[in-house]
Structure 1
Amino acid sequence: MTIFGFTALAVLLTIALASPSPLIHSRDNNVPIIDLGYAKYQGAFDSLNNVTSYLGMRYAAPPVGELRFRAPQAPANNTTIVQEANTEPIPCFQAPMGSAPTNPLEAMNKRQMVTETDDCLFLNTYFPGDSIPTTPLPVLVWIHGGGYAFGDAAMYPGSDIITEAHNEIVLVIIQYRLGVFGFLAGSEVKENGSLNAGLLDQDFALRWVQSHISKFGGDPTKVTIWGESAGAGSVIQHIVAQDGQTSPQLFRGAITSSTFLPSQYLYNDTIPELLYSEVVAQTNCTSATSALACLRSVDANALGKINVNISSGGFFGTFIFAPVVDGSFIRQRPTESLKQGKVNGKALLSITNTNEGNIFVNQTDPMSASIYSSMLFPKFGPQQANQSAQLYEDLGMPIEQNNLIMGESIFICPTFYLLGAFPGSSWKGQFAIPPAHHAQDVFYYFPSAGPPPFNNTQFLEAFQGGFMAFVVSQNPNDMIAPTITPSWKLYSEDNTQMLFNKTADNKTNIQVTPIDNAQLSRCDFWESVGALTGQ
């Protein structure tokens, strides 16, 4: 599909030395047992990749029963036994993207059936070698994509990232509630629950990192968050969270791959309220004294099926359940916060794919640009629909216009808004290996999940090297190992980006290129109508 200083690090080391060691060595396994205070976990060593992993560690209490649709809570204490952390966590309940007017179950029928659960707030942690690093390493937290509807930790082989970083980082991969379980909105949820529960899960996991990552050899003052698609959309949410005044600061740097910013309405807007009413109706909770209390009592599997049904019914290529402006964690539309410079973090690296929109557009049923933009953004009136049509009318056939509208309005333009919020400390890349569709870059970050179609060693080292350099030093030019990548220019230097492509005869083509001014102009339009698109 903030850098803190040496003083803070010294204090952390002093506290660590003065405190009881969290490590206990098993009699029959050399992998350390790590005591998190509420649980003890023993991981597993992968001798092939020289990586130690702790899989499926619980970071929050099961969000079930009365905790459904509420902010995550601390897990119960369970330190009497050592838990084996050597199995991938079970995914959260999943749902497909909208497929109307095609068969609403088509996307799900193609998906391999896996066990799903609402008790899914787990994370994986990886460090290089078979013993905890003695010198604290920079930390990368990966947030998976999937339209806030699907995805899980097991999709991403963590050892790939550790290898690409030449054993110089610690990695955390998190899970969070999805679909109706993580993003149900409306006034009743605001009054007796928690809006954006899925985002609050992520925030809770980032705070877990601050509290515990030093036990795995990570430096909590050197955290970078990175996500792809809805994972990148999540990164935006944490950047603008609490008007950029999150305390303590949970990360110093951010990376986005294919930033995903769909309509993000106010929690009590007509559309979220209609969606809430539909969930209540399909669960037969309409006549209940408290509809939300009724929803908490609905069997999880039954709610999971309703999650699939409602998600499938969305307009083709869209995702029904998404973040909202809740007035607390997310206080205004993200584009407004970015424009005002109300951001968490100090540095940013962003990459987009050339053809982001294509897989989210029904290629067999093209529409005129005006109709398509109106379907994508239902609050558009004739004026905005006609304006969008005029912008794209000379850019190919209707299907090509649809592809561009989806790709630019939802993915590419929000990336430019994000880059502009970090003047003097942001870099832009473009993944252009044909066909350069959305998510095709993921195989180049996690090649053992692939392999990547252009499996060229020089290209892989160059492409991966910039991301790893940024995690370590917050600058993609500070390569851990030499590559063929030319010097990255700051985005603010004449609106430039690093192009990652190949030639017709399969040679690497990596160069600094200017960003198309016409595309930037179209992005100005999308920014101007943000109040209607909900971005």
Structure 2
Amino acid sequence: MPLSPSASADSRRCRGHPELQDEACLNFNVYRTQGVPLDQKLPVLVWIHGGAFVAGSWKSFDGAAFVASSEVPITVVNFHYRLNSLGFLPSALFEAEGLLNLGLVDQAFFLKEFVQKHIASFGGDPDQVTIGGRSAGGHSVGIHYFHNYNEDTDKPYFARAIHQSGSVTARAFPNATYPLYVRQFTEYMAYLGCPTTEDRKAAMDCLRAADIDKIREISTKLYNDSERNITWPFQPTQGGPLLEKFGSQSGYDGTFFPVPVLTSNVNDEGKYYLPGDLETNEEFLAYMHNGSPALNATDLSLLAELYPDPAVDVGSPFAHSPNSTQYDRLSAAWSDYGYICPGQETAYRASVADVPTWKLRFATNASWPAWQGIPHTSDTKYTWDEPTVQHPDISHVYHGYLASFVAAGDPNAHRYPGSPFWPRYEPAGYGLDSAPAMQLVVQPDNGTRAEPDAIRREVCMFWRDPERAPRLNK
């Protein structure tokens, strides 16, 4: 049963197209298995949508289909939160005003003040809440999961978590002094005609009076300027609420909620949006360095060795790229940096703390061309058992594991009939000398099975290195 406290026109204000966005957008839907009395409290999945923190909508997750396909009764909630510069405006001004990470604050407010206090009125069990999300939604889940400190210490507002292509250490979340953020904020304020002097009141008064259309215009322009290099503006900012310290440090400190966790990635995350025109090693390194400018010469030299240059090494695993010499190499490096190795770090930190942990590699195409592999978001429609996907059998299997995890805290308890057992992720150690933990690979033609998490292990140790993490803003 879909329920929403807002009119449909209002629901457009947070989502998708920046030209529709404003701040009046915290609204939600609730879906619940039909025929179950409201006094029977059901496990709840709260889905946080993705969209790079600049776009997206609850429409990216079909809560009704997820509920309808579940073997056991459940409830699903999806919702909107502030996006783009209205939800994330990294700047010294917003840091001083206590206004960083407003979109994350929206999420926490919704999870604590609505879900925990009121989901029982909709037949949901506040003690059996799973938070889940993909991409920016998965990063958000990671940020909440790794915030067992400050006002949240030992007060979890969820019982389990699903990260799909997301992590607290995914990509990079610099602080407000990051030079790129300073330049983007300066251009943003200039376009709106607002001062960037030390007069904070004048600056805030100007922003509050700014025309929403102009805010949308400059937000779109700054995003488009950054799209090729994936140096997106309007991101969660380290030092702000829910990211008072880097996510990697929270992992080392053990300041995360020890509740069951499931993390997954697709094979070729970066091929969703990376450029296909780089030809030389210099261009490859410059692209990676531009995204992580604090990497030093030693880091870059190691990077070149770990991902052999197909322009000079005929034995490179990235040779014979489909559209440019460096495309497969760049895609592998960015996938590892931004998604795959952070997902492994999440699984490792949770598992060694004796938290029930499951890790998955999604290797099923979603009608992408062969040259693009299985890129970011390929698992989206498979999540809710969608009959129109390229491989409907995988849709049954994948959804079955996820729904089982929501219902029971274990992906195996109510898995789709005939699906293989998904072993827990239990690494024998941290380094390459230890045996890899087991994960599940989901692929068609009866290929879903347990496998060692052994793909590009050496490069993941590079990206997960605690000494390097600060230079990566992770």
Amino acid at match of 2:318: G
Residue matched to 1:360: 273
% identical aligned pairs: 24
Amino acid at match of 2:52: G
What is the Cα deviation at residue 359 of structure 1? 1.5
Residue number among 148, 152, 159 corresponding to 1:246 in the alignment: 152
Q: Label 1:141 to 1:218 Cα distance change in 2 as closer, same or farther (>3 A).
A: same
Residue matched to 1:437: 375
Counterpart Cα distance in 1 of 2:278 and 2:384: 33
In the alignment, is residue 119 of structure 1 matched against residue 39 of structure 2? Answer: no
> Where do residues 274-423 of structure 1 align in structure 2 (5 Å cutoff)?
274-286=183-195, 289=199, 290-316=202-228, 318=230, 319-326=232-239, 328-368=241-281, 369-393=284-308, 394-397=316-319, 398-423=326-351
Which of the pair is proportionally richer in strand? 1
What is the Cα deviation at residue 390 of structure 1? 1.0
- Secondary structure at the counterpart of residue 25 of structure 2: coil
8 Å Cα contact 1:160/1:445 also seen in 2? no
Q: Label 1:93 to 1:488 Cα distance change in 2 as closer, same or farther (>3 A).
A: closer
| TM-score using structure 1 length | 0.76
Q: Label 1:379 to 1:170 Cα distance change in 2 as closer, same or farther (>3 A).
A: same
- Secondary structure at the counterpart of residue 272 of structure 1: helix
> Where do residues 175-190 of structure 1 align in structure 2 (5 Å cutoff)?
175-190=80-95
In the alignment, is residue 172 of structure 1 matched against residue 114 of structure 2? Answer: no
- Secondary structure at the counterpart of residue 498 of structure 1: strand
What is the Cα deviation at residue 482 of structure 1? 4.5
Q: Deviations over 1:170-207 (max 9, x none)?
A: 11101111111111022211222411001001001101
> Where do residues 25-104 of structure 1 align in structure 2 (5 Å cutoff)?
52-55=1-4, 57=5, 89-92=11-14, 94=16
Counterpart Cα distance in 2 of 1:135 and 1:185: 44
8 Å Cα contact 2:28/2:77 also seen in 1? yes
Counterpart Cα distance in 2 of 1:497 and 1:131: 35
Residue number among 121, 140, 165 corresponding to 1:258 in the alignment: 165
8 Å Cα contact 2:100/2:241 also seen in 1? no
Residue number among 202, 213, 228 corresponding to 2:134 in the alignment: 228
Q: Deviations over 1:264-320 (max 9, x none)?
A: 112333333333222112211137742232112111121011100001111515222
- Secondary structure at the counterpart of residue 466 of structure 1: helix
8 Å Cα contact 2:100/2:240 also seen in 1? no
8 Å Cα contact 1:490/1:496 also seen in 2? yes
What is the Cα deviation at residue 164 of structure 1? 2.4
Q: Label 1:526 to 1:287 Cα distance change in 2 as closer, same or farther (>3 A).
A: closer
**Bigger mean CA offset, 312-321 vs 522-531:** 312-321
Counterpart Cα distance in 2 of 1:356 and 1:244: 33
| TM-score using structure 2 length | 0.85
Residue matched to 1:273: 182
Residue number among 447, 457, 461 corresponding to 1:509 in the alignment: 447
Q: Deviations over 1:70-122 (max 9, x none)?
A: xxxxxxxxxxxxxxx788822416568xxxxxxxxxxxxxxxxx744331111
Q: Label 1:155 to 1:474 Cα distance change in 2 as closer, same or farther (>3 A).
A: same
Amino acid at match of 2:344: F
Counterpart Cα distance in 2 of 1:242 and 1:271: 30
Q: Label 1:287 to 1:419 Cα distance change in 2 as closer, same or farther (>3 A).
A: closer
Counterpart Cα distance in 2 of 1:345 and 1:251: 11
How many residue pairs match? The answer is 431
Residue matched to 1:216: 122
Q: Deviations over 1:330-372 (max 9, x none)?
A: 1211112112221024110111101111122112334523222
Q: Label 1:213 to 1:366 Cα distance change in 2 as closer, same or farther (>3 A).
A: farther
What is the Cα deviation at residue 447 of structure 1? 5.0
In the alignment, is residue 428 of structure 1 matched against residue 343 of structure 2? Answer: no
Residue matched to 2:438: 496
Counterpart Cα distance in 1 of 2:454 and 2:251: 22
- Secondary structure at the counterpart of residue 2 of structure 2: strand
Q: Label 1:189 to 1:384 Cα distance change in 2 as closer, same or farther (>3 A).
A: same
